[in-house]
Structure 1
Amino acid sequence: MLWFDHPKQWKYTLLASAVALSCWGMPLSLTSQASDLNRQLAIPLNNGTLNTQRREADRLMRLGGQQRRQGAFTKAIDSWEEALSIYRNLRDVEAQGVVYEFLGGTYADLGRYVNAEDAMRRRLAIARDLGDYQGQIFGANNLGTVLLQRNQPQAADELFGEALEIAQSIKHAGGTGLSYSNLGLAAYALSKPVEAVRYYNQATTYRRQAKDVLGEANTQNNLGDAYRAMGEYRQAAGAYQMALLLSRQSIDRPSQIRATEGLGFAYEGLGLSTVAVDYLERRLKLAREDNNSAEVLEALQTLAAYFRRNGDFTNTENYYQQAIAVALAIGDKQTQKVVQRQLEDLRLREAVKQQAAERRR
């Protein structure tokens, strides 16, 4: 089951049912974007007479969960598509909704947002047909997050508003907090940071009521981003500090990394360069501890960009060279070329500056 809270940070907390137990513990993925709540849907996938077809469909669902956990996204999709076909033949609409939810999140992880949108629209339609209010809350939030990824913030905003209305009507604190947080994301994407801050503060209240520590960490990170966009660096630092504390409590590494980097940017905005560099280097250390080459590469680029903004040629060149080495090691040719061009541009500009200085002597 997925409930996204940040477009770049997709995370998984799947159904606590007979089928979903096989998927429990799926690895956190980027992007983010992220599940917040452990929700149980009372969907008896084995309702009625257990026959060969149903057992096969349930087996395929479990298999897909195992494959997804192992990072074999495409194989997981194939397994779930087979299961979906069987559930259609059995006319089990509830089970189809579960499959569409899994498919939507996995397509999103693969960056196949057209497919993700289609699956999530089908999931939401099923929830509406069944009068499943919780399904509608989270389905609308999921679909809205994909629309944000597709640069459709206005459409996403409408879906988040719909989800909020339903969540409030059934007094669902978790769904209300998630919907407010996503409304903040939509407002931020629409260049309305003041409105985003208001939504995030409302989200925090409900997420605390729901004891949703991971969700509150995501909201606090979002709040930090909004304050930073407004130039309110002290408030941003406070929000990121809270996100860091919560992410440690929830043992959520992506949120911790994001908060650590955010603190680096916030303290840079406050003119506290030593503290800023310390946090940006901590972010690099976390990535190395996780043996996450992609995160290491991104952290090195962030440090290089920081030192370049602040006129430190030596450190900028050093971090560019490290980034190139990592990109080469993991076969990321595109990033390698980009960083190589940045390094060459840096050296050219530095050479021009030195020549100009020599002419003035």
Structure 2
Amino acid sequence: MKVIALNGIAMSYHAQGEYSKAIDYLEEALRIRFKIFDVQGIAMTVGHLGIVYDSLGYSDTAIQCHQIHLNTAQNIQDREGESMALGNLGNAYMTSGDSIKAIQYHHQHLVIARELQDRRGEGNALGSLGSIYNSLRYSNTAVEYHRQRLLIAEEIQDSAGEIGALNNLGLAYEIQGNCKKALKYCKKALLLAQEVKDPYSQGKILANLGTIYRKLGEYVKAIDCLQQCINIKKKLQDIRGEGYALKHLGNAYYCQGDYIKAIESYQNSLSIIRKIQDEEAHEQILIYLGMVYCALKDYEKAITYNQQHLAIVSKSASKNQPM
């Protein structure tokens, strides 16, 4: 059917980071599904739109899409659709920064996936829960979830799941301060990602490796990994990922003592971070630039960047004050 092909093409574009094309194909699929009154198909396609909007950072719109999918799936007793929508809601709430709701939805997803004996869905839910606990710095809990995910991924020969589990185990061990173990898992993940030619995963893993090598004091290797990561992010047109990688590259140059290159990396990152309006990353880079100029004994510029940081913090504090 044409509509199935349109959905498939859309999600292929999504995987390549071409989100506007993905939306165009999904909207065309949606028009066809409305004409033939395919309720289940409409809900699924709206869910796919939610996935794309989540990737664009529009978590509120994504949540609305996934809630429509969930409500419809529950009304027509589509347990597979319900499971999918719950997992996607968990992802969208994580994007929005609401880790409590994200955990709740992923737990519901896990229960239904196990009920349906959907091993891939079960693995995805476990991996998502592990990632949330990584972000909350509960690394022991994260390790448990990612180990379970890895076993399932190996069992069903899910290379994407295996790559994700290995990389996230590396991240969990890095949070614990066990950088040697983290390096072992991330290297395994990178080899597998290169083997299956998955540039998106390669970029994520190289970013993690850059941080691990920096913490181990191996700055040349850290810089090499982060430069490779930036090249991949540029090819994928992942401007957000490029901005974050440039920030980490600045950190590596700073630790190496190459303050001029650190400034260049931070400035390039700052121009991207301002475009995507990430306030937390904006504050971090201003702090880092202040630190670099202090190291260079250029105290006037250091004060300028710290004052910019202070202005953002003051503005944010005034917004949060009760009226």
- For the criterion TM > 0.5, the same-fold answer is yes
Please give the secondary structure, in 2, of the residue aligned with 1:224: helix
Give the TM-score, by structure 1 length: 0.69
| Structure with higher helix content | 2
Aligned twin of 2:312: none
Aligned residue among 10, 13, 20 for 1:71: 20
Q: Within 5 Å, which residues of 2 pair with 1:322-337?
A: 327=271, 332=275
Aligned twin of 1:33: none
**How many Å apart are 1:207 and its aligned residue?**
1.2
The count of corresponding residues between Structure 1 and Structure 2 is 293
**How many Å apart are 1:280 and its aligned residue?**
2.4
**How many Å apart are 1:323 and its aligned residue?**
5.4
Please give the secondary structure, in 2, of the residue aligned with 1:351: coil
Aligned twin of 1:146: 92
Amino acid at match of 1:266: I
- Kept in 2, the 8 Å contact 1:80–1:103? The answer is no
Amino acid at match of 1:284: I
Distance 1:21 1:264, change over 3 A: closer
Aligned residue among 266, 278, 282 for 2:224: 278
Aligned twin of 2:150: 204
Q: What residue ranges of structure 2 are gaps of 5+ in the alignment?
A: 300-323
Please give the secondary structure, in 2, of the residue aligned with 1:119: helix
Aligned twin of 1:26: 13
Aligned twin of 2:206: 260
The reply on whether 1:111 has 2:57 as its aligned counterpart is: yes
Aligned residue among 165, 179, 197 for 1:251: 197
CA distance in 2, matches of 1:78, 1:97: 12
Please give the secondary structure, in 1, of the residue aligned with 2:57: coil
Which structure has more relative contact order (CA 8 Å, sep 6+)? It is 1
Q: Within 5 Å, which residues of 2 pair with 1:1-361?
A: 17-23=4-10, 25-28=12-15, 71-72=20-21, 75=24, 79=28, 82-83=31-32, 85-86=34-35, 90=37, 92-287=38-233, 290=235, 292=237, 294=239, 295-320=241-266, 327=271, 332=275, 343=289, 346-347=292-293, 349-351=295-297
- Kept in 2, the 8 Å contact 1:213–1:249? The answer is no
Larger Rg: 1
Please give the secondary structure, in 2, of the residue aligned with 1:188: helix
- Kept in 1, the 8 Å contact 2:19–2:56? The answer is no
Residues 229-255 of structure 1, C-alpha deviation per residue, up to 9 Å, x if partnerless? 111111111121121122112321121
**How many Å apart are 1:162 and its aligned residue?**
1.8
Identity %: 22
CA RMSD after TM alignment = 3.4
Larger deviation, residues 76-85 vs 273-282: 76-85
CA distance in 1, matches of 2:133, 2:291: 36
CA distance in 1, matches of 2:226, 2:252: 9
Amino acid at match of 2:51: G
**How many Å apart are 1:314 and its aligned residue?**
3.5
CA distance in 2, matches of 1:99, 1:347: 51
CA distance in 2, matches of 1:321, 1:116: 31
CA distance in 1, matches of 2:26, 2:203: 29
CA distance in 2, matches of 1:298, 1:157: 25
